[in-house]
Amino acid sequence: MTRRQRLQEGSQKRREQQKEELYQTILKAAGDMFLKHGYEDFSLRQVAEEIGYSPGTIYLYFDNKDELLRALAEQGFADFSRMLQTTSVSSSDPLERMIALARGYITFGLQNPAFYRLIFMERPDFFVHETLENAPKWEETFGLWHSIMEDAIQAGKIRAEDPLKTLDAIWSLLHGIVALANRMPDFTLERALGAADVAVEMIVRGLRP
């Protein structure tokens, strides 16, 4: 490789790195603006002003606000899926894994409020209509819960005549805790995790054979 080629390659790498850095800066600003304004009042212009760029720069990356928010959702859901995957193998005891998943869900929801509000509260249709092309599938991600519950049933740890209804009940409890904590500043992570522990304990006690 000649010196000129090395310089061109180095220059290309720097441009790609700068482009990726700006992309991530846009996503972070989008999350901040979404939390501040909500979906209806969110705009690309707000994001541009937040990062000190012209709106035209944002349009080089995204055509409209749905495209930007969809990218934010895709990245968030990929992180969410990886967290669940890691947590699902954290113990050999399926009941302990269920409890770990519950705590992981709460923690992730509170540490990533923009993603959680976007997907689970304001634009769930992103997933319902399967428009997130680059994110893990909804069914595959939440299938972990069903698999672990089946393991717990087989191990004699719990009883559940209808596992799906039971999972929906658990999810509803966890979602309620995260939604409350995201809306109420005094509902801290520590308080939310405490509520999650009590909720899961109540459910598990009721499901014991």
Give 42-97 pLDDT, tens digit per residue: 999 999 999 999 999 999 999 999 999 989 988 888 888 889 889 888 888 988 88
CA distances (Å), origin 79, targets 86, 108, 114, 141: 11, 9, 13, 11
Name the segment(s) of the chain with CATH classification 1.10.10.60.
1-63
Q: 1-63 adopts what CATH topology?
A: Arc Repressor Mutant, subunit A (1.10.10)
**CATH 1.10.357.10 residue spans of the chain:** 65-209
Q: Give the model's confidence band at 202: pLDDT under 50 very low, under 70 low, under 90 confident, else very high.
A: confident
At residue 31, does pLDDT exceed 90? yes
Q: How far apart are CA 161 and CA 85, in angstroms?
A: 26
Task: Tell me what pLDDT residue 7 has.
Answer: 54
- Over residues 160-177, the pLDDT tens digits come to 788 888 888 888 988 999
Tell me, yes or no, if the pTM score tops 0.75. Answer: yes
Question: Is 1.10.357.10 the CATH number for 65-209?
Answer: yes
Q: How far is CA 71 from the centre of its chain?
A: 12
